[in-house]
Amino acid sequence: MIVPNSKKLLLVDDDPSMHELVNAMLAGTEWTTSNVSSAAEALKILESAPYELVLTDILMPGMDGLTLLSRIRSRHPDLKVVAMTIKNTPDHVLGSLRNEAAGYVTKPFTRDALLLALSEALSASFDDGDITVISDHPQWIALQIRCKLATAERLTQFIRELPADLSREERENVAIAFRELLVNAIEHGGHLDPGQVVYLNYIRTARTIVYYIRDPGEGFSQEKLQHAAGPDFLEQPMRHIELREQMGLRPGGFGMLMAKKFADEVIYSAKGNEVLLIKYL
């Protein structure tokens, strides 16, 4: 059955069982799916039929998914692509970012995870240079990020998948903490100015995962940051919310609180525009 106002998805995967699985997951949703088994077939069909989104595997014989992503970017620059893979490596994550994938999911995924990835990719808005890869060493990844909230949301999908050896729950918790700190840096340090950039480093050691974020702002004093949920949150849970309304800020302010809840350590520099988020392995 075709759902009214349905959106067309092109699924590219050489495994027929993935066709069956994704089709079953998307049955009864807004998505109608066409299936192809190779990147070459995908490029051919895209020349003759419009699609809202492409969901492609990365590991395929012949032309792989990252090459397909690059070809789509050059031929159909407005078409959104979500990359998926069972072999989740920094190369796959960074390759997807470099080729401007709108989303990224790791196999096996749940129906909810797939629907979320497709929805976020469809609504994603980004420009060339929003995310620049400075270092692509698997143990030391460095990125430069334009100060746009949409960029933070998109990047979080990819950062969530980097520590592939953590449990799904641990990855999700660390991603929540990371997102909150990145949004704080973009919003308060960069003042949502796309001309400003935030620097991010993901460092992997034998015993820790470290995220380093530096924003272009003048820094802050945590004690004076009254519009954020702080140590007195339990005693005055509504205070920072009321202050944010008075200041015309969006709902939020839970960044530091959530980061400290989900990470093992959160350390700020004296100036306050640099932060380390540390997860012990």
Same domain, yes or no, for 46 and 157?
Answer: no
Query: Where among 77, 109, 124 does a domain terminate?
Result: 124
Same domain, yes or no, for 133 and 249?
Answer: yes
Q: Are strands 7-12 and 53-57 parallel, antiparallel or unpaired?
A: parallel
Strands of the chain (E only): list them.
7-12, 31-36, 53-57, 80-85, 103-106, 131-137, 140-146, 197-204, 208-214, 265-268, 274-280
Same domain, yes or no, for 170 and 107?
Answer: no
- In the DSSP assignment, the letter for residue 227 is T
Q: What tokens does 60 get? A: 């395929």
Pairwise CA distance, residues 184 & 130, whole Å:
17
Amino acid in the structure at residue 25: M
Structural domain span for residue 254: 127-281
Same domain, yes or no, for 61 and 132?
Answer: no
Mean of pLDDT over the chain: 86
pLDDT in tens, 21-41: 999 999 999 999 999 999 999
Pairwise CA distance, residues 199 & 217, whole Å:
12
Query: Where among 70, 99, 124 does a domain terminate?
Result: 124
Listed range (49-58, 92-101, 236-245) with the worst mean pLDDT: 236-245
Query: Where among 124, 144, 166 does a domain terminate?
Result: 124
For helices 16-26 and 111-123, give the axis angle rounded to 10 degrees: 80
Listed range (142-156, 189-203, 207-221, 250-264) with the worst mean pLDDT: 250-264
Q: How high is the pLDDT of residue 220?
A: 60
- The CATH number assigned to the domain holding 136 equals 3.30.565.10
Same domain, yes or no, for 223 and 271?
Answer: yes
Residue 240: pLDDT band by 50, 70, 90 thresholds?
A: very low
Same domain, yes or no, for 211 and 109?
Answer: no
- In the DSSP assignment, the letter for residue 248 is T
The predicted model gives 110-133 an average pLDDT of 90
> What is the total count of domains within the chain?
2
Prediction pTM value: 0.81
Same domain, yes or no, for 146 and 246?
Answer: yes
Instruction: Evaluate the omega torsion of the peptide bond into residue 108 and state whether it is cis, within 30 degrees of 0.
Output: yes
- Cβ-based neighbours of 230, under 8 Å, separated by 6 or more: 222, 223, 240, 256, 257
> Pick from 30, 127, 124: which is nearest to 80 by CA?
124
Q: How high is the pLDDT of residue 173?
A: 86
pLDDT in tens, 140-155: 999 999 999 999 988 9
Same domain, yes or no, for 72 and 152?
Answer: no
pLDDT in tens, 207-224: 999 999 999 998 765 554
- The CATH number assigned to the domain holding 19 equals 3.40.50.2300
> Pick from 92, 91, 98, 50: which is nearest to 73 by CA?
98
Q: Are strands 7-12 and 103-106 parallel, antiparallel or unpaired?
A: unpaired
